[in-house]
């Protein structure tokens, strides 16, 4: 094993990803500045303000990234159980010593900062998952293997659900893409998609009608495929499962979901118009983005965000400022940058010689994708309001550091892709 | 090569599809649907209207007739209201608890976030008491506005009043006016509305989510300042107007006084009048209904809306027209045997005047004389009678009779001067002559003349043949602009030389012992006038007097009509003489009792009698005699 001594620490580091990372951080900072801009008190580096703090976060994130690039590459695979264990401990700790903010016990106060353990659980879960799957005894045909991989994902999800921070927990489910890439049956994706569609239909249509429709479709299918005996039992089984699923969705929706979650879904589906309550955020967010028109109102000219019509404007709803001040063109640029980054990460993952690095790369892509899609989707009314940040752009130290760790570990692995781990 | 390598494409496909969904949705929100821009502006923009001060109106000596006085609207923002002592609140405002509940509910229904008016136009006194305790009532505040104030409470019908615009006006104005705006409803307030109202200012404020102002939109680029309305200088003489209203108290009728050299209206009295301050403030609605239901109709603008057959004063016009036609000369003499005989009928005269020339015919108001000259003008003009009438009618119309003078007030009536066709239709043939409408010779019959037209006729005589359009506003704004149409001399087609003997007769009416208005002679001032008595089929006759003074270089022409007051000499002439003296001398030389007799007299008809200020023109008055008296 020959270690190539790097001429500098950025030797062999993927420059494209690096630039995309920096671009998103800067876009984030500019828009946080605009969102909380106060003309009477404009000081770009005032540490009392969100943009001043975010500036510190970005600098420290860059330092964190550099540190990771300096670390020995073997560290990540060998220490992945340790990282995972620490994350789980922190997730347990937050339930005990955490501070409750807005109904979620998600932060551990450390001095003047607050640490959000769920952000760090993301990279450690990806690492352990990669470590587990890349070991040869993982077999996608084996229920035990798949179950164990699922357990790695579900453990942090369960702990986060206890906070309860449903949004963060949901993002872990995106790791199904990783399993799929590594050989999990495509049916899982199909079943997942069907589950989402049935979920929505259950809420939109009456149960009786939906079940009748389902039985009708199943009947037609059975008739069409009556010569192919092997289809009969899956169709009947699927239909029965679906009917159970419909009832359980209905039950969950009515009895398990919090009232505000229920309303958020209803608002999204257009079943209720609650512009003063749960629908207020989305409505104001759509107004801000929609009023940006093609070219936007210009830097610092946005009124909806600046004058507090949009809540959580520098964290979860930061995309409103992008849409309002930079218009469709600016939104397109941001969406384009994310898509570019996601494609780049998949490209990086696929060029790895070690399956650990590849699996980890898909984990990074999945986590970033789900944040990107749900966050922007909720600001424009595509998905229900789920409070998760927009990676690298939203205000917040924990999330920026969490995503930086996630990405830079991949870059470190990639820089060493010719070596053997 | 990893066996599941191809799955990369599926995952990429899912990522790309999701991004495309986002882009399509963004395209819809930001490019296609423009509702959101409107909503954003609704969120953040607050248009604040700055109301300009309405123009003030001065009299001819720059004394204030109308000004603006501050009042206070009590506003409420329901969301910001905290529990408070309602009883004390109501006591301070002088309203009942029920009233408060009703108004507060109305405000809440309007909007709990935005300000509504809780009580309109608090007086300065109520405001002063309330302001000290305002801190006890969060959510309430007071907004300044101004209302019209009339320091002397005069000239109500002349000045008119303003009121809130209604839906129809808003529609008609193409959105210029908005709910809550005030507009001139009558009088000068209405005819000069577009000058008086000024220009509203707009501030485009931006507010945050909590409705706190955050500065001006686009740095105030779209803001405008309010521009105050133009001030108007009216031609009215405040003191003369005051005296006129005093003299006309408890009487029905009009006084119109005109400066002949300019057409400026010096006094414009419509009686009964009302206090213009009643049409302002919180009691306006009640007061308005009271005035509207008053049987003496104070809202009726008599100087320009009441039409009367002029009676004997019309002889002046006939004397002038007949001379211009060459039908008579000043020395033409007719012998009055007590009436004018036409066919087998007689138009009676009050006296047997014997041989009468033109000057005497005016002096004694001889009906016989005018029967003869009317007959000469119509039947002996060298053309068919109908054409003779047409010529006569055209000559009279030039005095502004039978058509609007287009004074700068709304709703002027034109009066009545029948056309030849009217008689042709009425008699079923065009072969009619002076005997068919002989009463026109003495101002009776189918004639209707407003007091304004009477006064204008006097201005024509005073000027010896021309007039300026009578008007109420002599100068607009600080630059004292006068409307061009008011400076145009209008000739009436009577040569100057024909006025001498008529004016001599009018002078004798007042100044020669035995003249019909000798009682109204003003010592030291030669006033020329003519009395008239208008027959009124509904009750006592109307008393009319027209005059101008002094005889040379006249300064004032005046018409006075007192309804149901009998002879012209009894009431109208003394009123006119006091007005003329007051204007020319600024004081009254005659003993106080002379004035008191008039101011204390009440000549109102009994209420149960149906009042009809517009005396209908009598159908055929050929047989009736003029009752103008020759008693002093």
**For position A42, what pLDDT does the model report?**
61
The confidence score (pLDDT) of residue B632 equals: 32
Does residue A24 surpass a pLDDT of 50?
Answer: yes
* Least confident window among A396-410, B208-222, B477-491, B590-604: B208-222
Q: Chain A contact for B44, CB < 8 A? A: yes
For residue A271, being part of any structural domain is answered with no
What is the pLDDT at residue A7?
55
- Domain of residue A250: give its range: 189-256
Residue A268 lies in a domain: no
Mean pLDDT of B406-426: 91
Q: How far off is chain B from A376, nearest CA to CA, in Å?
A: 8
Q: Is residue A153 part of a domain?
A: yes
**Same domain (yes/no): A338, A387:** yes
**Which of A262-276, A374-388, B270-284 shows the highest mean pLDDT?**
A374-388
Identify whether residues A94 and A207 lie together within a single domain: no
Over 90: is that where the pLDDT of B495 sits?
yes
Identify the band that residue A363 occupies on the pLDDT scale cut at 50, 70 and 90.
very high
Residues in chain B with CB shorter than 8 Å from the CB of A347 are: none
With CB atoms and an 8 Å threshold, state whether A290 touches B30: yes
Output the pLDDT for position B630. 31
Q: Which of B7, B22, B215 sits opposite A180 (nearest CB)?
A: B7
| pLDDT score of A4 | 53
User: What is the value of ipTM here, to two decimals?
Assistant: 0.91
CB contact under 8 A, B43 and A303: yes
Asked if A291's CB is within 8 angstroms of B36's CB, the reply is: yes
Taking the Cβ of residue B289 and every Cβ of chain A, the question of whether any pair is shorter than 8 Å is answered with no
pLDDT value, residue B52? 84
Q: Domains in chain A: how many in total? A: 2
Q: What is the mean pLDDT of residues A56-70?
A: 93
Q: Are residues A88 and A157 in the same domain?
A: yes
* Overall residue count recorded for chain A in this entry: 421
Looking at residue B525, its pLDDT comes to 92
Out of 3.30.460.20, 3.40.710.10, 3.60.15.10, 3.30.930.10, the CATH code matching B239-599 is 3.40.710.10
Do A306 and A402 fall within a single domain?
A: yes
Residue B265 pLDDT class (50, 70, 90 cuts): very high
Instruction: Please say if the pLDDT value at position B586 is more than 70.
Output: yes
User: How confident is the model over B316-345, as a mean pLDDT?
Assistant: 91
Smallest CA–CA distance from B26 into chain A, residue: A328
- The residue among A35, A139, A275, A291 with the most chain B CBs within 10 A of its CB, best to mutate, is A291
In this structure, of A224-238, B10-24, B545-559, the range with the lowest mean pLDDT score is A224-238
**Are residue A242 and residue A372 in the same domain, yes or no?**
no
Cβ(A225)–Cβ(A207) under 8 Å? no
Q: What is the mean pLDDT of residues B144-148?
A: 80
pLDDT of residue A128: 94
Same domain for A320 and A173, yes or no, is: yes
Q: Residue A420: what pLDDT?
A: 55
CA distance B525 to B551: 8
A4 within some domain: no
pLDDT digits (tens, 9 = 90+) for B61-97: 999 999 988 878 888 888 778 788 888 888 888 888 8
CB pairs under 8 A between A and B: 120
* Mean pLDDT for all residues in chain B: 86
Measured in angstroms, the CA of A94 and the nearest CA of chain B are apart by 33
* Whether residues A26 and A46 fall in one domain: yes
Residue A385 belongs to a domain: yes
Q: Is residue A231 part of a domain?
A: yes
- Could you confirm whether domain B47-234 is CATH 3.30.470.20? no
| DSSP letter for each residue of A176-243 | HHHHHHTT--THHHHHHHHHHHHHHHHHHS-HHHHHHHHHHHHHHHHHHTTT-GGGHHHHHHHHHHHH
Residue A377 and residue A247 share a domain: no
Q: Does the pLDDT value for residue A210 go beyond 50? A: yes
Cβ(A406)–Cβ(A83) below 8 Å: no
Residue % of chain B over a pLDDT of 70: 95
Give me the residue spans of the domains in chain B.
47-234, 239-599
In this predicted structure, which of A257-271, B264-278, B565-579 has the lowest mean pLDDT?
A257-271
Q: Which of B18, B26, B206 is opposite residue A373, by nearest beta carbon?
A: B18
Do A220 and A113 have their domain in common?
no
| Residue A289, pLDDT above cutoff 90 | yes
| Domain end among A221, A256, A291 | A256
Specify if A44 maps to a domain: yes
Q: Is the pLDDT of residue B2 over 60?
A: yes
In a domain, A265, yes or no: no
- The whole-chain average pLDDT of chain A stands at 86
Confidence (pLDDT) at A5: 54
Length of chain B: 632
Would you say residue A45 has pLDDT above 80? no
Lowest-confidence segment of A138-152, A266-280, A307-321 by average pLDDT: A266-280
The CA distances from residue B248 to B65, B273, B287, B534, B569, in Å, are: 19, 9, 22, 18, 15
Closest CA–CA distance from residue B10 to any residue of chain A (Å) = 9
Does A200 lie in the same domain as A173?
no
> Measured between alpha carbons, how far is B506 from B360 in angstroms, rounded to an integer?
9
Q: Determine the average pLDDT of the residues in A340-346.
A: 96
Do A54 and A177 lie in one domain? The reply is yes
Q: Give mean pLDDT, residues B158-168.
A: 87
Element (H, E) at A282: helix A278-290
Mean pLDDT computed over B210-228? 79
Percent of chain A with pLDDT over 90: 40
Q: Which of A57-61, A300-304, B313-317, B556-560 has the lowest mean pLDDT?
A: A300-304
Band of pLDDT at residue B625, cut at 50, 70 and 90: very low
Q: Is the pLDDT of residue B628 over 60?
A: no
Q: Do A304 and B43 touch (CB under 8 A)?
A: yes
Of B4, B21, B40, the CB nearest to A287: B40
Strand order in the sheet with B45-50: B45-50, B201-207, B213-216
**Per-residue DSSP letter, A252:** I
Tell whether A175 and A199 lie within a shared domain.
Answer: no
Nearest by CB to residue A289, choosing from B19, B29, B210, is B29
Q: How far is it, in rounded angstroms, from Cα B159 to Cα B305? A: 15
pLDDT at A236: 87
Residue closest to B367 by CA, chosen among B626, B43, B20: B626
Q: Which residues, including other chains, have CB under 8 Å from residue B132's CB and lie 6 or more apart?
A: none
């Amino acid at each position: 094993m020959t270690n190539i001594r790097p001429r500098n620490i950025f030797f062999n580091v993927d420059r494209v990803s690096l630039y995309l990372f920096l671009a998103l951080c800067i876009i984030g900072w500019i828009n946080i500045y605009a969102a909380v801009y106060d003309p009477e008190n404009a000081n770009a580096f005032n540490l009392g303000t969100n943009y001043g703090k975010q500036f510190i976060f970005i600098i420290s994130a860059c330092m964190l990234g550099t540190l990771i690039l300096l670390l020995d590459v073997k560290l990540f695979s060998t220490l992945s159980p340790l990282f995972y264990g620490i994350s789980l401990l922190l997730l347990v700790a937050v339930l005990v010593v955490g501070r409750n903010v807005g109904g979620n016990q998600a932060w551990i106060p450390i001095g003047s900062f607050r640490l959000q353990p769920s952000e760090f659980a993301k990279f450690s879960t990806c690492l352990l998952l990669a470590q587990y799957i890349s070991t040869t005894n993982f077999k996608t045909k084996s229920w035990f293997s798949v179950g164990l991989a699922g357990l790695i994902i579900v453990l942090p999800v369960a702990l986060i659900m206890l906070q309860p921070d449903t949004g963060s927990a949901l993002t872990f489910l995106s790791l199904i893409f990783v399993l799929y890439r590594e050989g999990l049956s495509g049916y899982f994706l199909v079943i997942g998609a069907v589950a989402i569609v049935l979920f929505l239909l259950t809420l939109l249509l009456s149960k009786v009608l939906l079940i009748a429709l389902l039985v009708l479709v199943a009947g037609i299918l059975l008739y069409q495929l009556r010569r192919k005996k092997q289809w009969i039992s899956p169709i009947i089984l699927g239909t029965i499962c679906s009917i159970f699923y419909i009832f359980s969705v209905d039950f969950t929706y009515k009895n398990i979901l919090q009232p505000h979650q229920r309303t958020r879904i209803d608002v999204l589906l257009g079943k209720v118009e609650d512009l003063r309550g749960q629908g207020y955020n989305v409505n104001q967010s759509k107004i801000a983005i929609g009023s940006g028109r093609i070219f936007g109102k210009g830097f610092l000219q946005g009124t909806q965000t600046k004058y507090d019509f949009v809540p959580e404007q520098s964290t979860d709803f930061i995309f409103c400022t992008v849409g309002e001040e930079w218009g469709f063109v600016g939104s397109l640029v941001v969406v384009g940058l994310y898509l570019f980054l996601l494609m780049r990460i998949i490209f990086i993952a696929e060029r790895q010689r070690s399956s650990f690095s590849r699996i980890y790369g898909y984990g990074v892509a999945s986590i970033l994708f789900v944040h990107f899609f749900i966050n922007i989707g909720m600001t424009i009314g595509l998905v229900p309001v789920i409070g998760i940040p927009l990676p690298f752009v939203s205000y917040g130290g924990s999330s920026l550091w969490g995503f930086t760790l996630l990405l830079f570990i991949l870059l470190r692995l990639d820089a060493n892709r010719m070596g053997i781990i | 090569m990893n066996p599941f390598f191809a799955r990369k494409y599926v995952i990429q496909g899912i990522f790309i599809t999701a991004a495309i969904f986002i882009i399509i949705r963004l395209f819809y929100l930001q490019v296609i649907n423009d509702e959101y821009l409107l909503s954003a502006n609704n969120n953040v923009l607050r248009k604040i209207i700055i109301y300009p001060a309405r123009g003030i109106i001065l009299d001819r000596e720059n004394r204030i007739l109308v000004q603006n006085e501050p009042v206070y609207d009590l506003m409420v923002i329901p969301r910001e209201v905290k529990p408070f002592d309602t009883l004390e609140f109501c006591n301070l405002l002088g309203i009942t608890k029920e009233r408060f509940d009703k108004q507060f509910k109305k405000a809440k229904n309007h909007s709990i976030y935005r300000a509504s008016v809780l009580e309109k136009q608090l007086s300065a006194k109520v405001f002063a008491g309330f302001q000290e305790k305002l801190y006890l009532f969060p959510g309430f505040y007071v907004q300044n506005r101004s209302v019209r104030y009339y320091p002397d409470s005069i000239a109500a019908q002349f000045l008119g009043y303003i009121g809130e615009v209604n839906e129809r006006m808003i529609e008609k104005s193409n959105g210029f006016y908005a709910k809550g705006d005030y507009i001139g409803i009558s009088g000068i307030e209405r005819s000069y509305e577009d000058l008086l109202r000024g220009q509203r200012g707009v501030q485009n404020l931006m507010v945050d989510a909590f409705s706190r102002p955050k500065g001006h939109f686009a740095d105030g680029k779209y803001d405008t300042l309010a521009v105050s309305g133009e001030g108007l200088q009216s031609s009215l003489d405040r003191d003369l107007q005051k005296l006129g209203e005093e003299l006309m108290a408890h009487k029905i009728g009009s006084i119109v006084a005109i400066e002949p050299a300019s057409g400026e209206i010096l006094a414009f009295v419509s009686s009964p009048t009302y206090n213009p301050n009643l049409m302002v403030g919180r009691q306006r609605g009640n007061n308005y209904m009271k005035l509207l239901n008053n049987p003496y109709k104070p809202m009726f603008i008599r100087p320009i809306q009441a039409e009367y057959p002029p009676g004997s004063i019309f002889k002046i016009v006939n004397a002038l027209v007949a001379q211009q036609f060459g039908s008579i000369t000043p020395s033409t003499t007719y012998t009055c045997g007590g009436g004018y005989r036409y066919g087998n009928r007689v138009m009676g005269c009050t006296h047997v005047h014997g041989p009468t020339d033109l000057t005497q015919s005016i002096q004694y108001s001889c009906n016989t004389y005018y029967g003869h000259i009317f007959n000469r003008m119509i039947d002996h003009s060298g053309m068919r009678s109908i054409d003779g009438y047409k010529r006569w009618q055209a000559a009279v119309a030039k005095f502004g009779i039978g058509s609007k003078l287009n004074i700068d007030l709304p709703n002027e009536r034109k009066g009545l001067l029948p056309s030849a066709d009217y008689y042709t239709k009425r008699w079923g043939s065009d072969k009619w002559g002076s005997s068919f409408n002989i009463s026109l010779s003495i101002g009776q019959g189918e004639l209707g003349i407003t007091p304004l037209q009477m006064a204008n006729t006097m201005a024509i005589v005073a000027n010896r043949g021309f007039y300026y359009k009578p008007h109420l506003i002599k100068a607009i704004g600080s630059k004292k602009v006068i409307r061009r149409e008011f400076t145009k001399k209008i000739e009436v087609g009577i040569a100057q030389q024909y006025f001498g003997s008529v004016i001599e007769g009018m002078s004798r009416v007042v100044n020669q012992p035995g003249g019909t208005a000798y009682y109204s002679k003003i010592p030291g001032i030669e006033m020329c006038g003519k009395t008239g008595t208008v027959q009124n089929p509904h009750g006592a006759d109307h008393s009319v007097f027209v005059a101008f003074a002094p005889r040379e270089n006249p300064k004032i022409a005046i018409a006075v009509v007192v309804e149901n007051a009998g002879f012209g000499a009894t009431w109208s002439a003394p009123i006119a003489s006091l007005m003329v003296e007051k204007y020319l001398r600024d004081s009254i030389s005659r003993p106080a009792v002379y004035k008191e007799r008039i101011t204390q007299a009440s000549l109102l008809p009994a209420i149960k009698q149906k009042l009809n200020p517009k005396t209908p023109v009598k159908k055929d008055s050929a047989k009736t005699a003029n009752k103008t008296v020759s008693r002093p």
